[in-house]
């Protein structure tokens, strides 16, 4: 199977978590695009979707799936999203698509985070994938110095502006042995909007697509 076929298999498995009348939180990325396409097939059964990015919103709209404002919702039963890396404790690096801030907001509201991945995303230690950090543009040089001070090598994502009008620094060279502590530490740097560590709010269920089928793993 190709990587894209594996991504699709994980995405289709996530449809099992969508119940009648539900509002569904929708992430961002190529794996989630397969989920959105699958959701289109059952759109009459759901109340609508909350999107984590403009890109996913456009895809949902193209399928005629109603998009709801997170501020109008008090209960979001489920959020489905991919990851760039996920460890054994279901902590993740996210933000390869640059949507980390809105993803983290929707994930914070959701009762259940379903992570959909192919096996290439499962790692023993987070940090091989450069950690995305969304920053306020005027703080770029300061935040770069702070990140270098903790051993990272930040690289500005060239020509990229987030849906929130901010910049992304991709931080190389971090071996993330304490994801929760690092997530908290990075949030303390003035000018950082969000970092791509999803550790304090990790995944609840991992649907991991392997060539032998989709494994369902539940957080302990
Ligand atoms: O965090 C994300 C976007 O900000 C994505 O979930 C992550 O980058 C994985 O993407 P893909 O499904 O394309 O491999």
Indicate which CATH number applies to the domain containing 152. 3.30.70.260
Return contacts of 212-220, CB within 8 angstroms, 24+ apart: 213/9, 214/9, 214/10, 214/13, 216/13, 217/90, 219/89, 219/90
CA 92 to ligand 1 centroid distance, Å: 11
Residue numbers of the domain that contains 155: 131-195
User: 42 and 137: one domain?
Assistant: no
CB of 29 within 6 A of ligand 1: the answer is yes
Using one digit for the tens of pLDDT, what is the confidence trace for 206-216? 999 999 999 99
103 as an active site residue: the answer is: yes
User: 182 and 204: one domain?
Assistant: no
Q: Which of 5, 19, 85, 103 is catalytic?
A: 103
What is residue 20's predicted lDDT score, i.e. its pLDDT? 97
Is 220 a residue whose pLDDT tops 90? no
What is residue 175's predicted lDDT score, i.e. its pLDDT? 86
What is residue 215's predicted lDDT score, i.e. its pLDDT? 98
What is residue 110's predicted lDDT score, i.e. its pLDDT? 98
CB of 196 within 6 A of ligand 1: the answer is no
- The total number of structural domains in the chain stands at 2
Indicate which CATH number applies to the domain containing 11. 3.40.50.1360
User: 78 and 112: one domain?
Assistant: yes
Using one digit for the tens of pLDDT, what is the confidence trace for 91-135? 999 999 999 999 999 999 999 999 999 999 999 999 999 999 999
Q: Which atom of ligand 1 is nearest to the CA of 98?
A: 4
User: 107 and 162: one domain?
Assistant: no
C-alpha span between 103 and 204 (Å, rounded): 15
Q: Which residue has the tokens 């060239």?
A: 158
Using one digit for the tens of pLDDT, what is the confidence trace for 156-198? 999 999 999 999 999 999 989 999 999 999 999 999 999 999 9
* Ligand-binding site membership of 28 (annotated): yes
User: 94 and 190: one domain?
Assistant: no
What is residue 79's predicted lDDT score, i.e. its pLDDT? 98
User: 31 and 114: one domain?
Assistant: yes
**DSSP class per residue in 13-27:** HGGGG--TT-EEEE-
Give the other-Cβ count within 10 Å of 71's Cβ: 8
CB burial of 161-182 (b: ≥16 within 10 Å; e: otherwise) equals ebbeebbbbbbeebebeebeeb
User: 118 and 139: one domain?
Assistant: no
User: 99 and 39: one domain?
Assistant: yes
Pocket test for ligand 1, best of 84, 104, 107 (most atoms within 8 A of CB): 84
User: 69 and 45: one domain?
Assistant: yes
- Taking residues 62-75, what's their average pLDDT? 97
**DSSP class per residue in 135-194:** E-GGGHHHHHHHHHHTT-EEEE-TT---TTS-EEEEEES--BS-HHHHHHHHHTSTTEEE
User: 185 and 159: one domain?
Assistant: yes
Using one digit for the tens of pLDDT, what is the confidence trace for 31-57? 999 999 999 999 999 999 999 999 999
User: 180 and 212: one domain?
Assistant: no
User: 34 and 101: one domain?
Assistant: yes
């Amino acid at each position: 199977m190709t990587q894209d076929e594996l991504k699709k298999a994980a995405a289709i498995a996530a449809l099992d978590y969508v119940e009648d009348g539900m509002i569904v939180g929708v992430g961002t990325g190529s794996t989630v695009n397969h989920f959105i396409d699958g959701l289109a097939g059952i759109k009459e059964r759901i109340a609508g979707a909350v999107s984590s990015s403009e890109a996913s919103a456009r895809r949902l709209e193209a399928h005629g799936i109603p998009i709801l404002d997170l501020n109008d919702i008090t209960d979001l039963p489920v959020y489905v999203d991919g990851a760039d890396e996920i460890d054994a404790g279901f902590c993740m690096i996210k933000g390869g698509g640059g949507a980390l801030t809105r993803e983290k907001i929707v994930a914070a509201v959701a009762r259940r985070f379903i992570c959909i991945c192919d096996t290439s995303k499962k790692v023993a230690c987070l940090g091989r994938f450069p950690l995305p950090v969304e920053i306020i543009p005027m703080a770029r040089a300061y935040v770069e110095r702070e990140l270098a001070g903790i051993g990272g090598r930040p690289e500005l994502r060239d020509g990229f502006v987030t849906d929130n009008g901010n910049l992304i620094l991709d931080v190389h060279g971090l071996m993330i042995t304490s994801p929760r502590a690092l997530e908290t530490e990075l949030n303390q740097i003035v000018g950082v909007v969000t970092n791509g560590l999803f550790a304090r709010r990790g995944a609840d269920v991992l649907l991991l697509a392997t060539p032998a089928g989709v494994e369902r793993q539940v957080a302990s």
